[in-house]
C-alpha cells in the first residue's frame, strides 16, 4: 500500500503581507491539496509569532473544512497544556459534528510560543509528563459515552469518534503515544536528533487501544520542489531566514527569498539551521523523489506530513503539485 502524503500548515504571513491574505491563501492551498489527492491537512497552534496566522487553530480548522469537501482536516497540533481538556473536547466535538468523519485532533505538550506568552496563555507554567498524559486521557474520556451520573460532559463531544494523535520531538511524546495506544507524529522537520530513538521506543512499547491496534508513525519533513534545483534552493531560503531570526530572538514574517544565505547569516548560524533542517528535501522532482524514498525507508513511516512555507503563493502551489506527482512509495516492513 502506498504511503499517504499530508500537509502541515502554519498559515504563513509573508513579509509585507497580512493575516487576512495568509488565511485566504491557506484555504486556497488546502483546496489544491485536496484536488491533488493529499490525505489530510493539519494546522499548527503557535502564538505571538509575526509569521504565523494559525493561533486560533480550531477556528481555522473550521474555515478549511468548510471550504473543502473530502480531505481530512485537523491540528498538528493543539498544545494541550494551553487549554482545559473539556474546552478542546467541545471545540473538536463541534467540528466533528459540523464535518463528520473528517476531523483529526493532534496533541502536543510544547507551548508553541515563548515563555512570556506562555504565561499569558496558561497563567501557570508548571507542567510535567504525568499531567500531559492525564490530560490526554481526560480528553479521550470526553469523546466516549458518558458514564451513569457523570456530572461534566462535552456537548457536543460524547460518543463522537474524533481520532487522537500524539505529536512530539523527543522520546517523551513517543512514550505517551505508546502507552495510550495512539498514532505518533514526529516533528523531524525541525527536530532531527531524537527521530530514531523516538520511533524505536514507540514501536517497542506500543499498547493496542480501542482506536489503534498497531503502531502508526507519521514523520514530518520540509519539502520544496521546483523545476530547477537552484530555484528550489532559493525558495527554501525564506524558511531558513525565518528560523534564523527566531534563533536570534527576533521573530519575523516569512521573508522574501535571497540568492545567497551567507549575506544574512554567519557560518555558525547556517550550520545550526542546516542541522535543524536535516530532514528537508529541496530540489527538482527527481532529486526529491530519491531523497524522500530513502527517508521513508529509513523511518518505516506509515505516513509523510510535509511542510513547505514558501514566500510566493504561486510557487508554493507549484511545489505542492510537483510533490503530489512523486507519491506512490510503498510502505516498508
pLDDT by residue for the chain (333 residues), tens only, comes to: 789 999 999 999 999 999 999 999 999 999 999 999 999 999 999 999 999 999 999 999 999 999 999 999 999 999 998 899 999 999 999 999 999 999 999 999 976 456 665 666 664 556 555 689 999 999 999 999 888 888 899 999 999 989 999 999 999 999 999 999 999 999 999 999 999 999 999 999 999 999 999 999 999 999 999 999 999 999 999 999 999 999 999 999 999 999 999 999 999 999 999 999 999 999 999 999 999 999 999 999 999 999 999 999 999 999 999 999 987 777 765
Query: For the chain, which domains are there?
Result: 5-324 (3.20.20.30)
Distances (CA, A) of 13 to 49, 68, 74, 223: 9, 21, 20, 19
pLDDT for 1: 76
Asked whether 145 and 79 are in contact (CB, 8 A), the reply is no
Q: Regarding beta strands 103-108 and 164-168, do their DSSP bridges make them parallel or antiparallel, or are they unpaired?
A: parallel
- Report CA-CA distances (Å) from 333 to 193, 219, 291, 297: 23, 16, 19, 9
Question: What would the grid cell of residue 239 be?
Answer: 524558511
283 contacts: CB under 8 Å, gap ≥ 6: 224, 225, 226, 229, 232, 233, 291
pLDDT of residue 207: 98
Backbone angles phi, psi at 209, to 5 degrees: -135, 180
* Of the candidates 173, 178, 171, 176, the residue with the CA atom closest to the CA atom of residue 203: 178
pTM of the model: 0.94
**Grid cell locating 39:** 490525505
User: Are 324 and 37 contacting, i.e. CB atoms less than 8 angstroms apart?
Assistant: yes
User: What does the radius of gyration of the chain's CA atoms come to, in whole angstroms?
Assistant: 19
Cβ contact 287:319 at 8 Å: no
- What confidence score (pLDDT) does residue 128 get? 57
First to last CA, the chain: 11
CA angle 281, 287, 293 (to 5 degrees): 70
Q: Measure the CA–CA gap between 99 and 119, rounded to whole angstroms.
A: 33
- Please say whether the beta carbons of 180 and 209 come within 8 A: yes
Are 13 and 253 in contact by the 8 Å Cβ rule? The answer is yes
Q: Can you tell me the distance from the alpha carbon of 105 to that of 272, in angstroms, rounded to the nearest whole number?
A: 32
Burial-class residue 67 by CB neighbours within 10 Å (0-12, 13-18, 19+). Answer: middle
DSSP state of 12: B
Question: How many CB atoms sit inside 10 A of residue 248's CB?
Answer: 11
Residues in the chain: 333
Strand partners, 168: 186
The SS3 call for residue 220 is strand
Secondary structure (3-state) at 281 = strand
Residue 25 neighbours by CB distance under 10 Å = 20
Neighbours of 316 (CB within 10 A): 21
* CA 243/CA 331 separation, integer angstroms: 32
Residue 124 confidence (pLDDT): 57
Amino acid at each position: 500500500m502506498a504511503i499517504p502524503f499530508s500537509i502541515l500548515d502554519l498559515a504563513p504571513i509573508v513579509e509585507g503581507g497580512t493575516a487576512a491574505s495568509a488565511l485566504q491563501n491557506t484555504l486556497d492551498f488546502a483546496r489544491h491539496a485536496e484536488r491533488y489527492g493529499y490525505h489530510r491537512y493539519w494546522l499548527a497552534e503557535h502564538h505571538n509569532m509575526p509569521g504565523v496566522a494559525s493561533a486560533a487553530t480550531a477556528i481555522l480548522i473550521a474555515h478549511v473544512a468548510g471550504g473543502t469537501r473530502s480531505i481530512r482536516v485537523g491540528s498538528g497540533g493543539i498544545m494541550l497544556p494551553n487549554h482545559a481538556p473539556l474546552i478542546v473536547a467541545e471545540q473538536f466535538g463541534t467540528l466533528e459534528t459540523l464535518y463528520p468523519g473528517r476531523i483529526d485532533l493532534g496533541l502536543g505538550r510544547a507551548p508553541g510560543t515563548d515563555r512570556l506568552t506562555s504565561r499569558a496563555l496558561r497563567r501557570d507554567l508548571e507542567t510535567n509528563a504525568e499531567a500531559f498524559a492525564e490530560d490526554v486521557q481526560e480528553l479521550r474520556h470526553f469523546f466516549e459515552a458518558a458514564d451513569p451520573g457523570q456530572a461534566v460532559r462535552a456537548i457536543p463531544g460524547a460518543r463522537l469518534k474524533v481520532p487522537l494523535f500524539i505529536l512530539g520531538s523527543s522520546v517523551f511524546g513517543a512514550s505517551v503515544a505508546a502507552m495510550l495506544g495512539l498514532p505518533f507524529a514526529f516533528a523531524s522537520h525541525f527536530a532531527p536528533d531524537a527521530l530514531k530513538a523516538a520511533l524505536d521506543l514507540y514501536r517497542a512499547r506500543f499498547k493496542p487501544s480501542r482506536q489503534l491496534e498497531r503502531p502508526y508513525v507519521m514523520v514530518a519533513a520540509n519539502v520544496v520542489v521546483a523545476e530547477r534545483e537552484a530555484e528550489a534552493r532559493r525558495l527554501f531560503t525564506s524558511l531558513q531566514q525565518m528560523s534564523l531570526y527566531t534563533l536570534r530572538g527576533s521573530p519575523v514574517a516569512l521573508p522574501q527569498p535571497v540568492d545567497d544565505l551567507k549575506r544574512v547569516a554567519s557560518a555558525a548560524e547556517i550550520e545550526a539551521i542546516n542541522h535543524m533542517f536535516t530532514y528537508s528535501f529541496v530540489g527538482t522532482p527527481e532529486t526529491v523523489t530519491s531523497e524522500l524514498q530513502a527517508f521513508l525507508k529509513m523511518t518505516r513511516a506509515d505516513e509523510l506530513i510535509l511542510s513547505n512555507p514558501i514566500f510566493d503563493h504561486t510557487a508554493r502551489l507549484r511545489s505542492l503539485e510537483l510533490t503530489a506527482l512523486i507519491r506512490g512509495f510503498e510502505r516498508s516492513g
